[in-house]
Amino acid sequence: MPELPEVEVSRLGISPFLQNQTITNIIVRERRMRWPIPETIADVIGHSISAIKRRAKYLLIETSVGTVILHLGMSGKLRVIDAATPPVKHDHVDIVLASGQCLRFNDPRRFGAVLFQPPGEALSLLAHLGPEPLTDDFDDQRLFQLSRGKKSPVKTFIMDNAVVVGVGNIYANEALFLAGIRPTRQAGNISLARYQVLTATIKQVLAKAIEQGGTTLKDFAQADGNPGYFAQHLNVYGRKGEPCEVCGNAIQSKVIGQRNTFFCTQCQR
């Protein structure tokens, strides 16, 4: 599943092609996505794109008459290609531009979303989200205060979008390893000093992943590209049984909150 860095790289990749472009058509080949694609999405036809933003894992394509909201779900991918390019299987939506190109949304599993938000209306999906992790609104004091009394594992706590958005499974595993915190530890039993380290490592791993993903930006203008995922070095995620690169002990795995969790029993306490 695309996580926050992959979605941010998607935003960076499509923005140069969409910014200030007029939408000339919306082609919907399949409305049955995670939620039905609303007919009102056609309201943006004839209007210019003023901004391409991201909130958590949602991409927001803004116009003066409303915002198209995209979510990649588990398998969604975006490309900017010539609008005359014949669609292939699972090419569900085209946002056609005056440039002759289109933003094409392909989603084999159809867990993604294409929604429309009229001006002045708050979308319930975005209403209760916590701060973005790479902003000053997300800090160690917030983590510490919200964690008091929490008996849930710290990994579950930092993956809660009401606490902070976009810390998905991969990056929660990696941040906890770098912070030396066992993912099974109760969130309420962790000190402020350790949350200071954890906050810094969350920011570090996400920023590094976005930087690494920058090498894939050119793929967004290639019909045969595969943007959305990119190679990166992972310390613990997906490495069950392999030696820890710090101490040499075997990486352990445990299911926490229905998600596979990877950690080193020597380096994380």
Q: Which of 89, 121, 153 is the last residue of a domain?
A: 121
**Residue 257: inside a domain, yes or no?**
yes
Q: Which of 167, 183, 217 is nearest to 57 (CA)?
A: 167
What's the pLDDT at 228? 46
- Does the annotation flag 233 for ligand binding? no
Whether 68 and 144 share a structural domain: no
Q: What CATH number did the domain enclosing 64 receive?
A: 3.20.190.10
Whether 111 and 166 share a structural domain: no
**Residue 249: inside a domain, yes or no?**
yes
pTM of the predicted model as reported, rounded to 2 decimal places? 0.88
> Which residues are marked as active site?
2-3, 57, 259
| pLDDT of residue 182 exceeding 70 | yes
Whether 153 and 200 share a structural domain: yes
What is the CA 103 to chain-centroid distance, rounded?
A: 18
pLDDT tens-place string over residues 257-267: 999 999 999 99
- Does the annotation flag 29 for ligand binding? no
- Does the annotation flag 77 for ligand binding? no
3-state secondary structure of 6: helix
Tell me the residue range of the domain where 27 lies.
4-121
| pLDDT of residue 122 exceeding 90 | no
| pLDDT of residue 169 exceeding 70 | yes
Rounded to whole angstroms, how far apart are CA atoms 30 and 37? 8
| pLDDT of residue 76 exceeding 80 | yes
**Residue 25: inside a domain, yes or no?**
yes
Q: Which of 121, 153, 170 is the last residue of a domain?
A: 121
Mean pLDDT computed over 137-151: 97
